[in-house]
Amino acid sequence: MSGNPAMSAPVIETLFQRFLAEMLEDRIAVGALLVFAALVAVAVMAPFITPQNPYDLAQVDILDARLPPGTKASEGFTLVLGSDGTGRDLYSAILYGLRISLSVGALSGVIAMVVGASIGLVAAYVGGWVEATIMRIVDLQLSLPAVLVALILVAVLGKGVDKIILALVIVQWAYYARTVRASALVERRKEYVDAAVCLDLSQSRILFRHILPNCLAPLIVVGTVQTAHAIALEATLSFLGVGLPQTEPSLGVLIANGFQYMLSGRYWISFFPGIALLLTIVSINLVGDRLRDVLNPRLKR
């Protein structure tokens, strides 16, 4: 960055630096980001920081079942958050559950984003009946309650991680398609697209190299919020017993398992996984809110 003396210093900062600075201005968002980062970190490191692998039957003792927080397990370690109905250490189970919840949410989010963004982009650029058809499907999809659609889909598709992800993608692509189409329609009218047409660049180049990168900001915002949605939705399905199987116990499955003990006073079996789920969803949403404030109106200067 050398050269023009007339250029004043503050202008030189990159868009990213400005973005970062504005992002960090909001204490709540920073807090949420830290919480979320911590959740991801413990989920990734779960095997190294938990006293037991809750799904290795050899490590779990049925005699430890339903012990309250703070009790010592037969293996000798303390059950910080108590144990569940099968004697698993709840702390370990939550971290492993978080792994599954987060990966299901992230994976379905990414796939839905790629699929939805491509469809939305094509709709905006091609126009005509293609756009009309796509957008009618999107409207239809968005007018139905997500839980209901997801319920029907898993009922048809059956259980399993891949099926849940497929169901979540089908439920969510429409949000991304709508977002991308809206911003692509705005971008399309800008003069830089005319310039690209005048320079005889190919349609796909204009679409993916020029228009798409300029639609990323709202896409990221929707992406965060939708990922939180996906996690919540998966938990809901699992809680209802139609989501993930017992062999892939996400937070939702854990909550469901403990629910039957709720009335008998053994609140912790459902309560702690519930707290973990709540922290995850709220922290992602808070970060998403701040992203929306920072990315949407201003970076377009």
Partner 1 sequence: MTPTLDIAGLSTHFFTRDGIAKAVDGVSFSIAPGEVLGLVGESGSGKSVTGFSILGLVDPPGRVVAGAIRFKGEDLVGADAQRLRSLRGNRIAMVFQDPMMTLNPVLRIGEQMTEAISAHSKATKSEAQARARDALGAVGIASPEERLTAYPHHLSGGMRQRVAIAIALINAPDLLIADEPTTALDVTIQGQILSVVQRLVARSHTALLWITHDLSVVAGLADRIAVMYAGRIVEQGAVDGLLTCPRHPYTAGLLASLPERAVHGGRLASIPGMAPSLLNRPQGCAFRSRCGLARPECGNAMIAEKQVGDRRFACLHPLADSAGQVM
Partner 2 sequence: MEATPLLAAERIDKRFERRLDFAGRLAVKLGAAPGNETVHALDGVSLAVRRGEVLGVVGESGCGKSTLGRILAGIMPASSGRILWQGADRDRLTGTERRTVKLAVQMVFQDPASSLNPRMRVADIIGEAPLVHGQVTRAELGDYIDTILRDVGLDPAMKQRYPHQFSGGQRQRIGIARALAVEPQCIIADEAVAALDVSIRAQIINLFDELRQKRDLTYLFISHDLGIVRFIADRVVVMYLGRVVESAPTSALFAAPNHPYTVALLAGAPRLEDRKRAFAAIEGEIPSPLNPPRGCHFHPRCPHVMARCREEAPRLSEIAPGRLSACHLNQA
Binding site for partner 1 (CB under 8 A): 6, 8-11, 21
State the minimum distance, in angstroms, from the CB of residue 24 to partner 2.
21
Determine, following the binding rule CB under 8 A, whether residue 9 of this chain makes contact with partner 2.
no
In three-state secondary structure terms, 69 is coil
Q: Which is nearer to partner 2, 72 or 136 (CB)?
A: 136
Question: For residues 73 and 273, what is the distance between their CA atoms, to the nearest angstrom?
Answer: 19
Residues within window 117-136 making contact with partner 2, judged by CB under 8 A = 132
Rounded distance between C-alpha atoms, residue 297 and residue 206, angstroms: 24
204 is a contact residue toward partner 2 (CB under 8 A): no
Residue 155's binding partner, choosing from partner 1, partner 2, none, with beta-carbon cut-off 5 to 8 A by kind? Answer: none
Q: What is the smallest separation between the CB atom of 97 and partner 1, expressed in angstroms?
A: 41
How many other CB atoms are found less than 10 A from the CB of residue 31? Answer: 13
Among residues 9, 11, 156, 263, the one that binds partner 2 under rule CB under 8 A: 11
- Residue 31-70 contact track with partner 2, rule CB under 8 A, x = bound: ----------------------------------------
CB of 8 to partner 1, least distance (A): 4
Could you say which of partner 2, partner 1, none residue 9 binds, taking C-beta under 5 to 8 angstroms by partner kind?
partner 1
Residue whose token pair is 């250029």: 7
Q: How far apart are alpha carbons 69 and 82 in whole angstroms? A: 4
Q: Find the largest Cα–Cα distance for the chain.
A: 76
Q: Which two tokens stand for residue 203?
A: 């349609």
Q: Which of 103, 118, 214, 236 binds partner 2 (CB under 8 A)?
A: 214
Closest to partner 1 by CB, 21 or 49: 21
CA angle 80, 85, 89 (to 5 degrees): 30
- Look up residue 85 and give its two tokens: 């109905």
Query: CA-to-CA distance for 158 and 164, rounded, in angstroms?
Result: 8
Among 20, 57, 63, 197, binds partner 2 (CB under 8 A): 197
Is 3 or 76 the residue whose CB approaches partner 1 more closely? 3
214 binds, among partner 2, partner 1, none (CB under 5 to 8 A by kind): partner 2
Residue 143 contacts partner 2 per CB under 8 A: no
Tokens of 198: 């005048």
Residue 27 exposed, middle or buried by CB count within 10 Å (0-12, 13-18, 19+): exposed
| CA distances in angstroms from 149 to 39, 133, 144, 154, 159, listed in the order given | 29, 20, 7, 9, 15
Residue 103 to residue 231: CA distance in whole angstroms: 9
What DSSP state is assigned to residue 210? I
Q: Which is nearer to partner 1, 5 or 76 (CB)?
A: 5
Residue 139 as a binder of partner 2 (CB under 8 A): the answer is no
Using CB distances below 5 to 8 A depending on partner kind, what does residue 15 bind out of partner 2, partner 1, none? partner 2
Binding site for partner 2 (CB under 8 A): 1-4, 7, 11-12, 14-15, 132, 190-192, 194-202, 205, 210, 213-214, 300-301
